[in-house]
Amino acid sequence: MELGHTLKTWYWTLMGGTMNKNEIKSLLEQVADGGTTVDEAVMKLKMEPFDDIDIAKLDNHRGLRQGIGEIIYGASKTPDQIDKIAHALWKDGERTILITRMSDIAADHFTCDIPFKYYKEGRIGLVGEMLKPSHQGKVLVVTAGTSDIPVAEEAALTAEILGNNVSRVYDAGVAGIHRLLNHTDDIMSARVIIAIAGMEGALASVIGGLADCPVIAVPTSVGYGTAFGGVTALLSMLNSCASGVSVVNIDNGFGAGYLASMINNMEAAK
């Protein structure tokens, strides 16, 4: 009883640094089995909950709480700030660092003394390596048009980097619905689908009426005047009559990719 209470206390109060949930669980099991001493475990667990580097307070507990370490939102940050934050996370032991909305300038400026790759179309930077998929569940990313691909790539790359099998179907909007119906097998075999569209945003409802899995709708700012920068597509998707459709913010490919990863990696795998 006392050991169990101690382990639970450690789990919620001492856990920190770059250890993820599986690593923490393994460490505590070693303590319970006698393979690791209490003092050794405390040394591994007793780390600061965040790292203050002046321009940012880096959340070292993020990976443990949510399974994924802190992600850098690159928009509005200077290239120097992005560089400093990424290197600090790397120094603290993070080995999969995602940078969203990263500009070409910031990517060119990045100090590549650590592994770095830039995906221009999705404006995604990756420090380290993509996580390996833990199961066969598939995330399907579908766009209505070619103009939606930048948002789609942000979603697809986010899901891939976070350890998911991702398939892409681009330019399959309702203006030529036969293009979408040609991918019925892909739709039916996915565990979660990200439907991305501007204009009137009808794609999400159509897919929602075909799929037996959750559909994450992403309105984009693509369209003429009365598209209102994506507001028309947003309202259309929010008013979808198809069951199982949820909606993220305009152009929020990252949010869709992250949520799809969470759904796809739930224990009750399809």
With beta carbons less than 8 A apart as the criterion, state whether 201 and 219 touch.
yes
| Residue 269 located in a structural domain | no
pLDDT band at 16 (very low <50, low <70, confident <90, very high): very low
Which of 45, 63, 79 is where one domain is finished?
Answer: 45
Residues 115 and 26 in one domain: no
Q: How far apart are CA 128 and CA 117, in angstroms?
A: 8
Residues 28 and 121 in one domain: no
Look up residue 22 and give its two tokens.
């599986």
Does the pLDDT of residue 144 top 90, yes or no? yes
Angle between helices 38-45 and 21-33 (to 10 degrees): 170
With beta carbons less than 8 A apart as the criterion, state whether 211 and 188 touch.
yes
pLDDT value, residue 24: 67
| Residue 182 located in a structural domain | yes
Q: Structurally, how many domains does the chain consist of?
A: 3
Residue with tokens 């099991």: 29
- Sign of the torsion angle spanned by Cα atoms 203, 167, 118, 252: positive
Residues 153 and 258 in one domain: yes
- Say which amino acid occupies 179: R
Does the pLDDT of residue 70 top 90, yes or no? no
Q: How far apart are CA 7 and CA 233, in angstroms?
A: 49
| Residues 165-191, mean pLDDT to the nearest whole number | 95
Cβ density class 231-257: b for 16+ within 10 Å, e for less: ebbbebbeebebeebbbbebbbbbbbb
Residues 105 and 170 in one domain: no
Residues 180 and 236 in one domain: yes
| Residues 100-118, mean pLDDT to the nearest whole number | 96
What element of type H or E holds 166?
strand 165-169
| Residue 108 φ/ψ, nearest 5 degrees | -65, -30
Residue with tokens 């993820």: 20
Residue 141: alpha-carbon gap to chain centroid: 13
Residues 90 and 60 in one domain: yes
Residues 18 and 67 in one domain: no
Q: How far apart are CA 100 and CA 4, in angstroms?
A: 40
What element of type H or E holds 31?
helix 21-33
Residues 96 and 159 in one domain: no
With beta carbons less than 8 A apart as the criterion, state whether 89 and 97 touch.
yes
Which of 80, 110, 128 is where one domain is finished?
Answer: 128
With beta carbons less than 8 A apart as the criterion, state whether 247 and 219 touch.
yes
Q: How far apart are CA 32 and CA 30, in angstroms?
A: 5
Residues 30 and 144 in one domain: no
Residue 35 belongs to what domain range? Answer: 2-45
| Residues 223-251, mean pLDDT to the nearest whole number | 96
Q: How far apart are CA 2 and CA 94, in angstroms?
A: 33
Does the pLDDT of residue 54 top 70, yes or no? yes
pLDDT value, residue 156: 98
- Say which amino acid occupies 269: A
End-to-end Cα, the chain, rounded Å: 37
With beta carbons less than 8 A apart as the criterion, state whether 165 and 136 touch.
yes
Residues 259 and 142 in one domain: yes
| Residue 204 located in a structural domain | yes
Does the pLDDT of residue 5 top 50, yes or no? no
| Residues 157-168, mean pLDDT to the nearest whole number | 96
- Averaged pLDDT of the chain: 87
| Residue 133 located in a structural domain | no
